[in-house]
Structure 1
């Protein structure tokens, strides 16, 4: 970086500390499969992205989750009534510590992703890379997690459970991520954040 880091050291340290607090709490309270959520993958991979100031990692995580995280934030501020992806934050059966940590990371992740895109630009290799990641993570999520967790919505969107066979539903879900999240993100980021 020509002898000068462009991401402030305080941000790298604060984000890393936040992640190091979240990981053991989530592991203990929610189990290791919780880290299959695309947002949790992004939370963790943004640590090396920040420290290495790596455009490809940051761009890939932005393709994966930035639109979803902005949707989560909008839903959170609507009290879980907009898309219901943050509705769990307003349920009594969700522990207070989980609510605090979840709000912290879901609200911190979008500005960190945007900062990386602004500082370094978007790496267009992120789009095919995220598709490959999804092709691995979605079936793995189905195999390792259960309907009560419904991680990455592999059993149906939100609280609605699908009646479709996994052999039909999981390819449709993957196609939905690619067409509705990754593709628009790719074209928006390519236009708004050219590489420096």
Structure 2
């Protein structure tokens, strides 16, 4: 594993984690994509295929959807609304720019799985993690609300109430 990859990724997370924590609060780290970020960090430094494989299983397909939604949003269209926050002028360009990891993380994960190998336990392990996250987000986190764009903390985390943050 190239040391520069570990250091660059760690530096990115050293910026992202405190910025997200300050702007969105700790509940933001219940999103599948943020859990995958942390699993990737663990897998990078341990050079372990299990956390990297779990992250890949968990977010490759949703990140493709995120990228498509973002691209369509850049052209003025609307697909799912999962990237609407990227076009919210009330959030700084820097804060929104950090979310561009959704576009490059899948490629990093594919590279890491190719380098480290795929751990066959990943699907079962991610499924267990995902169920815990889904249950916590459904029962303990705020659901959709009409003023979701103005609320600083996440609502409808992992879209457990549907793809709209303003209505279930």
TM class, shorter-chain normalised?
Answer: 0.7 to 0.9
Distance 1:83 1:141 in 2: 19
Q: Which residue of 1 aligns with 2:151?
A: none
Q: Which residue of 2 aligns with 1:42?
A: 36
TM-score normalised according to structure 2 size: 0.84
Shift of 1:160: 5.8
Distance 1:145 1:21 in 2: 25
Distance 1:95 1:144 in 2: 28
Aligned match for 1:78, one of 72, 90, 101: 72
TM-score normalised according to structure 1 size: 0.73
CA root-mean-square deviation: 1.7
Shift of 1:116: 1.1
Note if 1:8 corresponds to 2:5.
no
Distance 2:165 2:19 in 1: 24
Aligned match for 1:57, one of 51, 58, 72: 51
What pairs up with 1:112-127 in 2 under 5 angstroms? 112-127=108-123
Deviations 1:89-122 (A, max 9, x none): 112233322201111x212311111111111222
Q: Which residue of 2 aligns with 1:174?
A: none
Distance 1:46 1:156 in 2: 27
2:80–2:163 contact (8 Å) kept in structure 1: no
Q: Which residue of 1 aligns with 2:94?
A: 97
1:33–1:141 contact (8 Å) kept in structure 2: no
SS of 1:131's equivalent in the other structure is helix
**Matched positions, count:** 155
1:38–1:64 contact (8 Å) kept in structure 2: yes
Q: Which residue of 1 aligns with 2:162?
A: 156
Aligned match for 1:110, one of 106, 113, 117: 106
Distance 1:115 1:9 in 2: 15
Aligned match for 1:144, one of 140, 143, 151: 140
1:12–1:51 contact (8 Å) kept in structure 2: yes
Deviations 1:117-174 (A, max 9, x none): 1112221211111111112111112233212411101222133633xxxxxxxxxxxx
Q: Which residue of 2 aligns with 1:182?
A: none
Q: Which residue of 1 aligns with 2:17?
A: 23
Distance 2:104 2:33 in 1: 12
